[in-house]
Amino acid sequence: MTVILMRLPLPAGVVLVLATPVAISWLVGDLTDPTSLALAAEGVDLDYGIEPITFGPTGDRIVGITACVAVLFSLGLLVQQTVTSRFRGGWWAVLLPLVAVGVILGYGWRVFTAGGIGANIGAGLVLLLGGPLALGLLLAAIVPAMILLRERPTKATTTTTTAATATAATTAAATTNSATTTNSAAADS
């Protein structure tokens, strides 16, 4: 199983990007302020930007710990693959901005799901600051990804190039052989 996992940098990158928001959200925890929690204990309904999704205390803990383990495992695997030159280091320029977007999403989720009385000012700030920052980070990930994908030769291009080279070599050899035969015939006459 270790051999199979060592050859999977793409799935490890996907797991890293997808598990990061979940892990950050669990690590940050509920951002409902103590005053609102006290009011909720007295029976006052809290206002939410987005109603929080919960699987209960145990379920949330299992999901959070699983996400943290997935992030650490995939990060370790990608570092190991980079050190052993099985994962091109240039792809970190794609992964790191995507992980940063995951951090913004995980923290933003906790801000949006924080209970309060009245307006959730933090949610507005997350939209105003986090939205453009996340968009900029996504663009910062797309540019190096496009460059890296263009640099990587495809099998079809390699096969075509090899076939064209072989054809050119055969043509050159045939031309050389016919020129040699013509020169030999001219020398004999």
| Per-residue 3-state assignment (H helix, E strand, C coil) for 15-73 | HHHHHHHHHHHHHHCCCCCHHHHHHHHCCCCCECCCCCCCCHHHHHHHHHHHHHHHHHH
34-63 pLDDT per residue, tens: 888 888 888 888 888 888 888 999 999 999
How confident is the model over 99-108, as pLDDT tens digits? 999 999 999 9
Q: Give yes or no for residue 14 having a pLDDT over 60.
A: yes
Query: Cα separation of 51 and 112, whole Å?
Result: 8
pLDDT tens by residue, 80-102: 888 888 888 888 899 999 999 99
